[in-house]
Amino acid sequence: MTRVHGLLFEDRRNGILAIQPSVPFFGCQRHEQHYDVVDGAIDFDLLPTPRGVFYNVGFKGLGDTRRTDFTLRWTIPNYGEIDITPEGQAHAPESEKVSTSVDRVQLRRLATELTEALELAAKQEREIAEIKQREQELRLKFEQHKRDMQSVLDQRDQHIAQLADATTPEVRTVIKQVPVAPARLEERMKILERENERLKELNDNYYQSVLELHQLKLERAQSGQFPDPVTEVPGTPQQRLINKLLAK
């Protein structure tokens, strides 16, 4: 490694020196590297350039993020160090110049690192705030979704209840009071029903007998025979009725 140091800008400007190899070589990154310029002075180490390779060098102000315009080409020999201070400034004590430049470079590096750390912290705080806001929005959406689901479930239950009421058949209950007869009255009714049936049977037999007697009387009248006088014999009403019909 070769140390490159000294006063590069006599106007004592501050900024960044961007250095990029023309061709990547072993041990050197292909992308440009940035080194601090404090009060116009630099102090850093570079790899010696192989034959045919050089460093593109460009200056950028603090906070300048535009593309670097490379205006110098450096070839670094394999020496211990290189002082790039102009000859008019070379009379200053070497130890004092080196010490002041190193201190300022280190302070500038610390300030740059601190600025980057603060920017990173501010960026992380913004990201955390955005995450919290997103979380709050998701919580609100989730609560709204729960309320919507509960409303839908309530409406479903109401529809099911209305459908059940509409499909349930109407049942009318009619209360009819039927008196129950006592046991003795029921028994009496059964006896009367049996007696009624017996009378119906006797009546049928009676009318059948009346028809047969009437037919017999007609047959005798046609044959010139008259029936014997009928002597009324006390008996049942049916027998007396038959005797009356035969007497006519």
pLDDT tens string, the chain, 248 residues long: the values are 889 998 988 888 899 999 999 888 888 888 888 899 998 899 988 999 988 899 999 998 888 888 888 888 888 888 788 888 876 454 444 444 445 555 666 666 677 777 788 888 889 989 999 999 999 999 999 999 889 889 888 888 888 888 877 766 677 787 877 666 677 777 888 888 888 888 888 888 887 887 888 778 887 777 765 555 444 445 566 566 666 655 55
The confidence score (pLDDT) of residue 96 equals: 47
pLDDT of res. 242: 61
CA gap 115, 108 in Å, rounded: 10
pLDDT at 128: 93
CATH-assigned architecture of domain 2-92: Sandwich (2.60)
- Per-residue model confidence (pLDDT) at position 168: 65
The residues, ordered by sequence, that sit 6+ positions from 71 with a Cβ below 8 Å of its Cβ are 57, 58, 59
Percent of the chain having pLDDT more than 70? 77
Domain parsing of the chain, residue ranges? 2-92, 198-247
pLDDT at 180: 61
pTM over 0.95: no
SS3 150: helix
pLDDT of residue 178: 67
| Three-state DSSP state, 220 | helix
Torsions phi, psi of 75, nearest 5? -110, 120
Task: Put the strands of the sheet holding 33-37 in their side by side order.
Answer: 33-37, 15-21, 55-60, 72-74
By the 10 Å C-beta count (0-12 exposed, 13-18 middle, 19+ buried), 165 is classed as exposed
**What's the confidence (pLDDT) of residue 43?**
92
What's the confidence (pLDDT) of residue 100?
54
Give the sheet arrangement for strand 2-7, strand by strand: 41-46, 2-7, 81-83
The whole-number pLDDT of residue 127 equals 92
